């Protein structure tokens, strides 16, 4: 025969387990899925940023090469200025 008290006990256990799943485990699992999706988005953003950095690396290298050329030209012009000033000094010495 069915014992009402025993059925009530089993129903209580089943409701406790369902409540545990519904109120504790489900929010934790949904938080994990949100965290997982956020990490995926962050990973995608990091990939985009690293691509941008790689693209800008070639630009920076080109700029540094251009600056090196300008420095060489400035050095040559500085050498020419020194030569010209030496020539001017020697011209003034010859005149006197």
Instruction: For residue 25, give the DSSP letter.
Output: I
| Segment 51-83, tens digit of pLDDT | 999 888 888 999 999 999 999 999 999 989 888
pLDDT at 41: 97
Regarding pTM above 0.75, the answer is no
SS3 content of the chain, % helix, strand, coil (to 5): 95, 0, 5
| Segment 32-50, tens digit of pLDDT | 999 999 999 999 999 999 9
Q: Coil, strand or helix: which one is 96? A: coil
Q: Residue 1 — very low, low, confident or very high, per pLDDT cuts 50/70/90?
A: low
């Amino acid at each position: 025969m069915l014992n009402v008290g025993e059925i009530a006990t089993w129903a209580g256990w089943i409701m406790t387990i369902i409540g545990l799943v519904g109120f504790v485990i489900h929010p934790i699992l949904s938080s994990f899925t949100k965290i997982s999706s956020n990490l995926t988005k962050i990973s995608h953003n990091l990939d985009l940023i690293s691509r941008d950095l790689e693209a800008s690396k070639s630009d920076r290298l080109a700029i540094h090469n251009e600056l090196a050329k300008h420095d060489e030209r400035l050095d040559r012009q500085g050498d020419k200025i020194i030569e010209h000033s030496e020539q001017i000094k020697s011209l003034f010495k010859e005149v006197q």
